[in-house]
Amino acid sequence: MSQLPREELADILFQEVDGYLPQIQTNLSSLSENMADSSLIGETHRLFHNIKGAASQVGFMELSNSARMSEDVLNDVLENETSLTQEDLTFISTIYDTISGFCHSPDHSFDAEAEHFASVLAGSSENTADGGASTEEVREECLVSLRSILPFLQELAEFSSDKTTVFPESIFKPMSRAISVLASCSKTAELHGHQQLLNSFLLLLKQIRASSSLSAAEISTFLKEVISYLDMVFSIDADKAEPIIERITERFADFSNLVATGERKEAKEAVEDGGTEFLPPENNLFDDLLVEEDALEVPPIEEVFFEEESDLDSEEDKAQELTDEQQELAEIFQAECEEHMLVIDRTLNTLESSVYEDRRSTAELGETLAEMRRAVHTLKGAAGMTGFIDLSSCAHGLEDLLDWLHDESDTVTREDVLIIANTIDTIDSLSSDMSGDYQGTVEANIKDVSNHLDRRKAEGQTEQPVEKTVVVEEGTGERVEEDTMVAGSAGNVRVKLEDLDELGSIEGELVVARGTIEKLVEQLGQSLGDLSTARDALGRKTQELEVGFEAQSLYGFGPSPATGALPVMEETVSSLTDFDPIELDRYSQLNLIIRSLNEISIDVNAIHSQINGVAREIRGQVAKQQLAMGVMQEKLMRIRMTPLSSISRGLYQTVRQTAAKLGKDVQLMIKGEDVYMDRYIWSRILDPMMHLLRNSIDHGIEDAETRVEKGKAATGLITVNAVQRNRFVVLQIIDDGKGVDIDKVRATLIDQGVISTSEQLGEEELMRYLFTPSFSTKDDVTQISGRGVGLDVVQKNIQELRGNVKIENRPGEGLTFELYIPVTLSINRALIVEVSDNLFAVPIQDILEVRRFSNAELQVEADETMQWREKPISFIDLASRLQLPSTGTEEFDGQLALLLETDEEYHAFRVDSIVEQREIVIKDLGSHLKYVRGVNGVTLTGDGEIIPILNVSELTSESPLGALTVASQPMLETNQDEIQVLIVDDSISVRYSISRMIEGQGWVAYQAVDGLDALEKLEELSPDVIVLDIEMPRMNGYEFMSSLRNDQRFSAIPVVMLTSRASEKHRQKAYDLGVNAYVTKPYEEDDFVTLLRSTVSSARE
Amino acid sequence: MSTLSTIVLEIDQQLDQAIKLEGQELQTQFQITEQEHFRRYILTKIGALKIAVPIDDLSEVSVLPQIKHLPNLPTWILGIVNLREEIVSVIDLNGLLALDSSHRKGERVAVIKNDMIKVGVVIDQILGTVSLPDSSIQQVSDETTGMFTQVLLMDEVEYGLLTAEMLLNFKKLTDYYEEH
């Protein structure tokens, strides 16, 4: 409307109207004397017109309407050139009074307005009925009013995002007002149907407002729908609108029911979900019939409007885009479908695997059929309710067939299963792609099913009807009620996967946080240890002091004996009066100090044990937390896991379709359907598996004739076998086809110039080439497997899951693919190891043993092959596998190594040191690096450092194509840049400030507290430069210099002397001993860094 | 019933007209902005390369955290970094494009993203940000690298345009592990 607030606008309006009123009054009184004065009539008309316009502008619709009514009357008089009747005049006067009264009333709210004008407007129809405004005009006005509601609706729609169920007053008020205006307009225009419709809409609005069972989203959807229908109703001829109005009114009634029973319905829906889920298979379809009826009693609003929609649709373009609401509904329905499809899939799998030839019905088979029928039935109902007619009719056809098979037929044929499977495929594609056009498929399918059913029935009649074997169990009805009762506490909750992921990552963060606490506790333990040492030292010193003092006093105070106990001593001392009092006083003071020192020592003791207790407690709590988190993590992982059976239908479908396309007869058998893996992994694995199955059917399985010739069964058999082996799920795809012709592979490779004729490659090596991109034995290319997905892609997909593919070829007998998929947990225990100054994590379950190999052990086998527990073991320097510079292979006490087993081979990975064992949270390598050979992921420490997690099985095998020397370049480069500095100074603050400066350069700093310490450090380190102080305890700088320069190993290391001694004497002495530079404190940081750099680089040259 | 669709159509047309009348002013404004659609770019220097990256394609530019090297990667993938708990790979653009990459690596990283991938590119220097109309983009042929087929001309200096679309669909980048 306007930017001004309503109050201000209203003020302006009423000032304006107030300006017109006196003139109107004058005019009216003149008119009562001369009712034919057209100029007066004209002026009055104009004044009312102004009021009408102004009022409607500010939103006072009632005021505007009443002014309009006067205007209309006067307009008629003017147009017809007649004079006013007394009746007209009274009417206009009434309106004038009302307007004037409202103008001067203090309350200008809309409510007051409505109240004020109600009587006038109610009486309006009689006055204006005789052709006040034409129907057309009223309708136009109605439309304008209607559209003015749209912004309110928009507002309401925005409210819906808050998920609040409150129907806000700010929307309800103006909306009902607008609708009541519309209703009065309709009445004026004699559109009684419209008026009624609007009135019931108004009623419904009030009801919605009073009820709390609907969400704002539902309300807004509903309102939008209604408005769009009203829009339509007001835009067509009144007589044509009638039927539509009737239908909308009906919908209102339905909706009203829904609102009234909203809560009841919700409860029932929950029952429906829980109920069907928990029914044991032997329960019969009566159960869901019951549920079904319940659900149907109260049709949800979606149904109402979707039926409407589909009516319209049938006359319009079928491929019209789904509206947002439909989309939303489709999503909800899809989620429901998924659930039912799970059951249907499972039962279909059972059928597929048990009915490989025509067979008689058994009780078991009957149960499977009943279970499938129940799911199909529920699906049908849901589809019907939500308006997915195609799906519903498809399911209906299938249900008929299942009914017959279950209730009447005594055999189940392979063809039955095929027909069922096909229909389920159609249903599946319908449910997964709601907007697609499947009408042709659906019709064909329904026809197929009914034809098949007729045919089978005809067959059946010739046979003896057999007693039905499956009997409805007694008391099923009661059981439904039981289920209904427990649904609240034992039902299922559907959770979004991303919510679950979020939970998982929160858990991860908790684990990291706990890891930090664990570290802190460890530190606390160390500090406690230090404290304990200090405490002991304190105790000892106190004692020493005490004894020393006693001895001293004995020595100094002559023959007077000291008994040892302090109070006695004091007494003794105080009795020696011939000593200087000051001296005496001082000694007794010392005595007191010694005593209090003793006490402090005891206090420290107590505090120490107290802290120790707390630390123990914390450790216990942390351990408890660790346990609980482990359980929680396991549970979380479990929730995400689904069994193989969740994808097996896709596999059956692939085999069926591919076999049909190629005209081959192939049977798929799936074993280990209860092997569980993460949903994500299954989804990633489905494509490669389908590809391998297609491959097997296309390239492996021979046609029936050939097979029979070779003495195989005419029907080819592909077995998918899932087993869990340690940390891997192994998926075997075994076919009994012809296998791979190795000679052909060799020939093709030679043809393509990949290998030369002279190369003598073993079978295994040749098979590896199957996985190279664009490899194909030429005459094998067909439409089926020529889809651009090659075995290389299969391998890539599996690799991205950190898995492995293996092939076992049995020429003439078949081919086996083995997919090894690691069952990685998102949280894991790992050993953190250090290799060439880099930290890496190795999952604990990969490690057999950590062991230090003695030099003797290492030297037995010169070619780095050794024995370990009488098994051959290869000794690998991990640094070289990680393209890191190898460090210190000449340790005195042998080599530290991790012992690992991969593929029944034993390996020892040499590492520099083991840092710790701890829990790690596995993160991937980012969105770009999907796969890095040898690295499974990374983990972050509490302070954000990245630690790569190693994939040891990949690291044990030498890189397939070697040539990784290039990759090691950046490491060398940084290594050259990096300077290692040993700082030798007894002052801790000097050491730390220099260290910080050096680390700030990206270099590495080591510290030693004196010359002796530095010499010890040098046994392990080889610094590029040493920063040396002169005055230090134990061994000073000069002494250190001379021993350094005398040791051949270290003589080349440059030394920069950093001291506060500025005298020439000191300097000369230093240079004599061979220091490379002499710097006096204080120094300039930059200059010092430059000096270090130049010293190192000149030394390197 | 058969006339319903035509009625709906009519209403739509009427509505359209109304919108056209009312929204004319708005629309013309919109058209102007569309004609001179400005995009903001950040101008950077990476070794000898001068590059403009649309700001919309950037997720952030920050100080390069310590890079963690990983084994078995081509040299131009410098490693990964931890940007606020998110792992992002960091590349040397010169190396990726097989240009001379011996210069000292910069200390900043520009993270280029699309819906799927985030990749950090080490940059030496940020030269500034500019807002330029699309018309200032010139098509050129880049035979050396194949990457910079579009350039921006600023004060007679050419900046190669590096968009997320170009970089993140660059075959060598995505198929990095086929390199060895």
CB of A971 within 8 Å of a chain B CB? The answer is: yes
A252-281 mean pLDDT: 50
What's the pTM? Answer: 0.45
Which residue among A240, A243, A948 places its CB closest to the CB of B68? Answer: A948
Name which of B6, B64, B68 to mutate to probe chain A: the one with the most chain A Cβ atoms within 10 A of its Cβ.
B68
Of these ranges, A315-329, A602-616, A751-765, B28-42, the one predicted with the greatest mean pLDDT is A602-616
Instruction: Give residue A567's pLDDT band: very low, low, confident or very high (50, 70, 90).
Output: very low
Question: What CA dihedral angle connects A394, A398, A401 and A404, to 10 degrees?
Answer: -120
* DSSP output for A428-474: HHHHH-TTS--HHHHHHHHHHHHHHHHHHHHHHHHSPP------PPT
From the CA of A971, how many Å to the nearest CA of chain B? 8
Chain B residue with Cα closest to A800: B177
Looking at A939-1004, list the stretches that DSSP marks H as alpha helix, in order from N- to C-terminal side. 952-956, 969-977, 988-1000
Phi and psi based region of residue A475 (left: phi greater than 0; alpha: psi -120 to 50; beta: remaining): left
C-beta atoms of A946 and B82 within 8 A: yes
Q: How far is CA A977 from the centre of its chain?
A: 42
ipTM over 0.90: no
CB of A614 within 8 Å of a chain B CB? The answer is: no
Cβ A996 vs Cβ A1032: under 8 Å: no
Q: Average per-residue pLDDT in chain A? A: 74
Q: How far is CA A740 from the centre of its chain?
A: 42
How far is Cα A1018 from Cα A168, in angstroms, rounded to an integer? 78
For residue A32, the surrounding DSSP H or E stretch is helix A6-33
CB of B72 within 8 Å of a chain A CB? The answer is: yes
pLDDT digit string (tens) for A278-321?
A: 333 333 333 333 333 343 343 443 333 334 444 444 444 444 44
Q: What is the pLDDT of residue A64?
A: 82
C-beta atoms of B89 and A925 within 8 A: yes
Of A1100 and A691, the structure prediction assigns the larger pLDDT to A691
Instruction: Give residue A731's pLDDT band: very low, low, confident or very high (50, 70, 90).
Output: very high
Instruction: Give residue A50's pLDDT band: very low, low, confident or very high (50, 70, 90).
Output: confident
C-beta atoms of B88 and A926 within 8 A: yes
CB of A232 within 8 Å of a chain B CB? The answer is: yes
Chain B residue with Cα closest to A959: B72
Of A737 and A570, the structure prediction assigns the larger pLDDT to A737
Contacts of B176 in chain A (CB under 8 A): 929
From the CA of A516, how many Å to the nearest CA of chain B? 16
**Sheet containing strand A716-725, strands side by side:** A666-671, A716-725, A728-735, A814-822, A804-810
Which residue among A312, A925, A934 places its CB closest to the CB of B80? Answer: A925
Question: What CA dihedral angle connects A1001, A1004, A1009 and A1010, to 10 degrees?
Answer: -100
Could you tell me which residues come within 8 angstroms of residue A1008 by beta carbon, excluding any fewer than 6 positions away?
A: A982, A983, A984, A1014, A1016, A1017
How far is Cα A706 from Cα A712, in angstroms, rounded to an integer? 9
Name which of A928, A931, A958, A999 to mutate to probe chain B: the one with the most chain B Cβ atoms within 10 A of its Cβ.
A928
Instruction: For A1006, list phi and psi in degrees, rounded to 5.
Output: -120, 155
Cβ A269 vs Cβ A296: under 8 Å: no
pLDDT digit string (tens) for A1001-1019?
A: 778 888 888 888 888 888 8
How far is Cα A412 from Cα A1004, in angstroms, rounded to an integer? 78
Q: What is the pLDDT of residue B112?
A: 94
Chain B residue with Cα closest to A960: B180
CB of B88 within 8 Å of a chain A CB? The answer is: yes
C-beta atoms of B86 and A961 within 8 A: no
Of A726 and B2, the structure prediction assigns the larger pLDDT to A726
CB of B87 within 8 Å of a chain A CB? The answer is: yes
| Nearest one of A782, A587, A801 to A678, comparing CA atoms | A801
Could you tell me which residues come within 8 angstroms of residue A45 by beta carbon, excluding any fewer than 6 positions away?
A: A71, A74, A75, A78
CB of A924 within 8 Å of a chain B CB? The answer is: yes
A496 pLDDT higher than 90: no
Q: What is the pLDDT of residue B44?
A: 92
Number of Cβ within a 10 Å radius of residue A1044: 24
A276 pLDDT higher than 50: no
- Farthest-apart Cα atoms in chain B, separation: 76
How far is Cα A969 from Cα B74, in angstroms, rounded to an integer? 10
Cβ A923 vs Cβ A936: under 8 Å: no
pLDDT digit string (tens) for A960-973?
A: 433 232 223 333 33
Name which of B69, B83, B169 to mutate to probe chain A: the one with the most chain A Cβ atoms within 10 A of its Cβ.
B69
B89 pLDDT higher than 90: yes
Could you give the angle at which helices A216-233 and B4-22 cross, rounded to 10 degrees? Answer: 100
| Nearest one of B170, B37, B33, B50 to B114, comparing CA atoms | B170
> Across-strand partners of B131?
B40
pLDDT digit string (tens) for A357-416?
A: 777 778 888 888 888 888 888 788 777 767 777 888 888 888 888 888 888 877 888 788
